[in-house]
Structure 1
Amino acid sequence: MFSLSWPIFLQLTCTYFMGLVDVWTLGRISDDAAGAVGSVSTLVTFVLMMFSFMGQGGSLVYARSLGRGGTTEVQEYYFVALLLHIALGAVVGVVLYVFAEDAARLMGLDGRLLSYGTVFLEVVAVGAVLHSVMAMFGGVMAANGFTRQAMVAAVLANVVNIVLIYVLVLSHSGPRWGVEGVALSTVLATAAGLLYSVRLVFFRIGIRFRRPAGTRELRAHGALLMTFTLPTMLEPAFWQAAQIATTRIIAAVGTDELAARMYTLSITNMIGMFSSALSQGLQISLGHLAGAGDLDGIRRRARDARLAGSAIALVLALATALGGDWIMGRFTSDPQVVDTGKLLLWCGLLYLPGSALIMTTASTLRAVGHVTYPAAVGIIVLWGVFVPLAYVLSLPLGLAILGVMIAMAVDENLRALLLSVRWRHLSAPERAHRIVEQRAKDPVAEF
């Protein structure tokens, strides 16, 4: 499980680092360019997250099929998933390109900022299908245990991105294309990573894609893939929307609080990426075990991963809290922002272990076919508890950003509790056999 997880963590880190390089480069162009692209990047992040989670949902289907020895079946899943990712990427790309200016205006941009944001979205839209297909190949490699190869593809994309940014944007002898150059570098870097992934999948690893025998099988495979991927995609979509709402609440509290929140997110997101990587590795591992019908292995590995994930998140949260002075000093010299940032880092102890438990438990449930419950719990608690409570505590009750952190702690720990109770119910001795008894026809076993 850990051998699957650590390359995923580095892959996620590379994706995060690519965004940091883009932001740093835009800052060299102008503050207006950095601000405009930073505003529309929320939408871009949402799109990329949607592709990524669709790829993860597909990898779970592949892992379950591989676990029960369905070689022909899984090859057909690959083919159908590729068609779905191409279609989704093309549709999203066209919509994003056509409505780029409207989307940038919706994010509050006008004048020169509107021009920067529109150009960036238009160029990124052209590469949407590349991101979608690369996420699909990443899921294929992960399900077959080749997470290190997927990591190498992400590293390659980062290297290409840095080189192209220097040539197209920063070099005095280059064209110095500005915002267009940054966006184009990202698209071309993604294309390079995709080409490397295609080479790995078809020529180095030797994975075969097989077209289903008929239209009936094509529809059945597509329906199963969407059954696993849609709930997996919906939860992060609603989570991203909740973060936008939370940012607006914090902005209403004050600019110092908003700045401190943005700075500390760069730290807490790294802890979150570790938990996400562990949960993805766990999901692949349990998917194979579920397909093979290994009930004891599922329960044992799920228990170990849930405990390890929460414990490691707690240790990392404590380490960042203790180093709050040094960490915040790297971002700003404003004493008010530093003090607020230190408080936020200490608040991480309240919610980061719960967040890790959510990810590992949700992956456990999805691996045994319960894909809707984690998504439903996430959406309901986020918008029924977290967002209203964050608003009430921070503004009407005057707790400011501390109110948002309390609401986040309530949200994360409540979701962790609900998911854990669900898993304990399913894995109880008198019901545990149901987890794997239907593996031969691969249903989605819900409520």
Structure 2
Amino acid sequence: MASIRRVCDSGIFECPSRVTGEAEREISVPSKVNIGVFSLSWPIFFQLGFTYCMGLIDVWALGHISDAAAGSVGSVNTVTTFVLMMFSFMGQGGSLVYARMLGQGETRKAEQCYFVAAILHLVLGVVVSATLFLWAEDIAGLLGLKGEHLSYGASFLRIVGGSCLLHSLVAMLGGVMAANGRTRAAMFAAIFTNVVNAAAIGVLVLLPAGPRWGVRGVALSTALATAAGLLFSVWLVFRRLRIRFRRPADPRQVRAHGALLLAFSLPTMLEPAFWQAAQIATTRIIAAVGEDELAARMYTLSVTNMIGMVSSALSQGLQIAVGHLIGAGDLDRIRRISRLTRWWGVTVAFVLALAAALSGSWIMAGFTDSPEVAEAGRLLLWCGLLYLPASSLIMTTASTLRAVGQVNYPALTGILVLWGVFIPLAYALSLPLGLAILGVMIAMAVDENLRALLLTARWRYVSTPRRAGRLVPETAEVPPVGV
């Protein structure tokens, strides 16, 4: 019995509440929200996976149109992917704020924050959508597209970029559902979006009797699927889950909530922006090394990204759970679940990286017939053992730090180490010193492990009993019983 209680208290798995009657009615909101890390994380993993599959379906359909269409859209997709990633992280930043409020039992305050967040996402979405729609051709031209490629790229960017408002609102509603422990609902929304996208591509692009609109049809399918996903998310939030949005009566509350949301969201958005720029620089370095290495890198990314999705889902689940617990002031349980989740994350990442490395020959055979590309790919998969476990530790530790209010440290650490250590070291090892692709992988291992070390040290510093009291919001009230 004692062992079962220890597992429940760890917060890794969902366990039934042990309170009933008056005690259950008096306890703050965390007891009514599922904050088991694994229970929150597995739907997030499938949500990320289905979002990833949506991009794969688009690429597959474009490949059936022409190589020129696929290449052109691939170029402008660097812009749309960056923008959508920013909206996604903005939604996660908002989710942190809601979770802390719900953890404190301040449901009305959280509902006001939902309303303010919706306004922020709406305004930013309109600005970005208008920019990409009006200047689609200019942006495609800046990316080096000309002639037929420019026409394909501008057409896709005008439609998909113009629908960024929809993505912004989907990200906001996803953050609301996540903060309320409803990650499965967000997963169902992602599944529904994928189904609509696949069906629309079949009708608008691939069906012989259909209009066969080509690139424009793929872009319209993506926009229509996003609109359908938004409507489904709205139905989930307001009808199925009955989550309320309240307009603050006092304009000062609007400004206060907006400032709080931006304080949590901007650093969360900043780090992936610099990370994306670092990936572009890395690609240029690898391209200078050789075409075989570049191709191998592109192929192996599809494998390592899937491993990264597991770590990302686990870190997002942990972030939601810790957000609730910090609002409730349960510091001891935060230490336990963060320690166990970090351990599980590193272990799972190592096992998956080892499995990928051992299956390297089989994996690369599915991508290429070139012995040189296959050999480089196998080397890259073995190098995953050097950095993928550390990457998982970075994600889970950074999520814990952000959830307790330490939002600036992970962002600044990531930016400084990426651009101050990784990029210069990758260039020096791969080109001047002649280590080629291995030099880039060594630099990546140094970068990931150094950041993991710095973040872990920061968490140990702020979570010591002497300093941990500063992490608890002033209005937090510790629940009378465990959650």
**TM-score (ref. length: structure 2):** 0.90
What secondary structure does 1:252 align onto? Answer: helix
Shift of 1:439: 5.0
Correspondence 1:315 to 2:351 = yes
Q: Which stretch shows the higher mean deviation, 382-391 or 357-366?
A: 382-391
1:182 alignment partner, one of 196, 214, 218:
218
Task: Name the CA shift for 1:437/1:217 in 2 (closer, same or farther; >3 Å).
Answer: closer
Corresponding residue of 1:259: 295
Corresponding residue of 2:128: 92
Corresponding residue of 1:83: 119
Contact 2:103 2:325 in 1 (8 A): yes
Contact 1:290 1:439 in 2 (8 A): no
Contact 1:58 1:228 in 2 (8 A): yes
Instruction: Return the alpha-carbon distance in structure 2 between the equivalents of residues 336 and 94 of structure 1.
Output: 45
Contact 1:55 1:139 in 2 (8 A): yes
Instruction: Return the alpha-carbon distance in structure 1 between the equivalents of residues 204 and 109 of structure 2.
Output: 45
What secondary structure does 2:248 align onto? Answer: coil
Contact 1:293 1:439 in 2 (8 A): no
User: CA deviation digits over 1:305-340, x for unaligned, max 9?
Assistant: 111101100000000000000000110110000000
Corresponding residue of 2:17: none
Instruction: Return the alpha-carbon distance in structure 2 between the equivalents of residues 102 and 197 of structure 1.
Output: 33
Shift of 1:106: 2.2
User: CA deviation digits over 1:209-258, x for unaligned, max 9?
Assistant: 00011111100000000000000000001000000111011111111110
Instruction: Return the alpha-carbon distance in structure 2 between the equivalents of residues 366 and 6 of structure 1.
Output: 21
Correspondence 1:151 to 2:187 = yes
Shift of 1:156: 0.3
Instruction: Return the alpha-carbon distance in structure 2 between the equivalents of residues 220 and 429 of structure 1.
Output: 30
Corresponding residue of 1:50: 86
2:398 alignment partner, one of 336, 345, 362:
362
Shift of 1:370: 0.5
Instruction: Return the alpha-carbon distance in structure 2 between the equivalents of residues 236 and 290 of structure 1.
Output: 25
Q: What percentage of aligned pairs have identical amino acids?
A: 71
Shift of 1:440: 4.1
2:315 alignment partner, one of 276, 279, 288:
279
Number of residue pairs the alignment of both structures matches: 441
Instruction: Return the alpha-carbon distance in structure 2 between the equivalents of residues 147 and 376 of structure 1.
Output: 29
Shift of 1:98: 2.1
Instruction: Give the unaligned 5+ runs of structure 1.
Output: 442-447
Corresponding residue of 2:452: 416
What secondary structure does 1:332 align onto? Answer: coil
Correspondence 1:41 to 2:77 = yes
What secondary structure does 2:138 align onto? Answer: helix
Instruction: Return the alpha-carbon distance in structure 1 between the equivalents of residues 453 and 324 of structure 2.
Output: 26
Tell me which amino acid in the other structure corresponds to 1:415.
Answer: R
Contact 1:10 1:151 in 2 (8 A): yes
Instruction: Return the alpha-carbon distance in structure 2 between the equivalents of residues 65 and 246 of structure 1.
Output: 40
**TM-score (ref. length: structure 1):** 0.97
Contact 2:166 2:230 in 1 (8 A): yes
Corresponding residue of 2:197: 161
Instruction: Give the unaligned 5+ runs of structure 2.
Output: 1-36, 478-483
User: CA deviation digits over 1:370-395, x for unaligned, max 9?
Assistant: 00110000011111111111111111
Instruction: Return the alpha-carbon distance in structure 2 between the equivalents of residues 92 and 221 of structure 1.
Output: 22
Shift of 1:432: 2.0
Corresponding residue of 2:379: 343
Instruction: Return the alpha-carbon distance in structure 2 between the equivalents of residues 439 and 425 of structure 1.
Output: 23
Instruction: Return the alpha-carbon distance in structure 1 between the equivalents of residues 311 and 186 of structure 2.
Output: 18
Contact 2:326 2:473 in 1 (8 A): no
Corresponding residue of 2:328: 292
User: CA deviation digits over 1:279-322, x for unaligned, max 9?
Assistant: 00000000000000001010001101111101100000000000
Contact 2:328 2:476 in 1 (8 A): no
Task: Name the CA shift for 1:407/1:439 in 2 (closer, same or farther; >3 Å).
Answer: farther
Contact 1:168 1:177 in 2 (8 A): yes
Corresponding residue of 1:305: 341
